[in-house]
Structures are given as structure tokens and as C-alpha cells.
Amino acid sequence: MKKFLIGLAAMASLTACGGNLCDDSQDVANDLYEKAEACGLTVTKPTDPTDAEIEACEEALEACSDSDKDKVDAWLSCVKDAEGCDDKTAAEQAAYGERIEKCSSELTGVSSACLFAN
């Protein structure tokens, strides 16, 4: 579970590309960290991106179609909107992980060029 959430935090901060999606991905990574920590999971706090990372993210937008960007935006929204834990039990941690995992369906059909642009 912990590795899954750490992977999601990294993906949230690196997958989305361009414009507000870059900012949104950082916001989602921070929110994901806060919710995971509140669930009692040990995760690494995401760092603020460097100017070079922001620029690379924005340039990577060129590999993403409008449809891709809409799907990535829907995924980011789903992850951000996922309800956190009511307590720090293993059952709540698993339920939170499942809520986050369900969001991956939002990425169905995103071109590999967009997903791996970074």
C-alpha cells in the first residue's frame, strides 16, 4: 500500500504536462501526501518543482492532445477529491488506496506519448 501511494505521488507530480496541469499536479501531490499521512501511511513529502522541471513540464504539453489533457485533468481531480481516512486502521488505509486506484480509469485512452512525455 505504501509503495502504491508513493508511486501515485510521484506520478501526480510528473505525469501531467503543461499549463495549469503542471500546477495542478503539484497541488494533487501535496494533497495526496497530506491525506496519506493522515491515514497513518509513511510517505515522502513531495518537493516543490524547480524552474527547470516546470519548464520541462510545460514543454511536454506538446506531446499531449486536448483529449489527453482532459483525461489527465479528470484523473488529477479524482485523486484530489478522493476521501481520506476516518482513522488510521489498516482497513481505512486499504479503502483509501482503493479510492485512489479507481481514479486510474480516468487515464484510459491517454496516449503513451503524453504519459511518458516527462
Burial of 9 (0-12, 13-18, 19+ CB in 10 A): buried
CA–CA gap between residue 91 and residue 38 (Å, rounded)? 14
What's the pLDDT tens digit per position in 58-92?
888 778 899 999 998 999 999 999 999 988 999 99
What single DSSP character describes residue 104? Answer: G
How does pLDDT run across 13-60, given as a tens digit for each residue? 444 444 478 888 889 999 999 999 999 988 889 998 888 888 888 888
Distance CA 107, CA 89 (A): 29
Task: Tell me the pTM.
Answer: 0.77
Q: Is residue 107 within 8 Å of residue 68, measured between CB atoms?
A: no
pLDDT of residue 42: 85
State the pLDDT at residue 30: 92
Separation between Cα atoms, residue 97 and residue 4, nearest integer Å: 8
Task: Give the pLDDT confidence score for residue 86 in this predicted structure.
Answer: 85
For the chain, what are the domain ranges?
2-115
Q: Is 42 helix (H, G, I), strand (E, B) or coil?
A: coil
Helix (H, G, I), strand (E, B) or coil at 16: coil
Q: How confident is the model at residue 101 (pLDDT cuts 50, 70, 90)?
A: very high
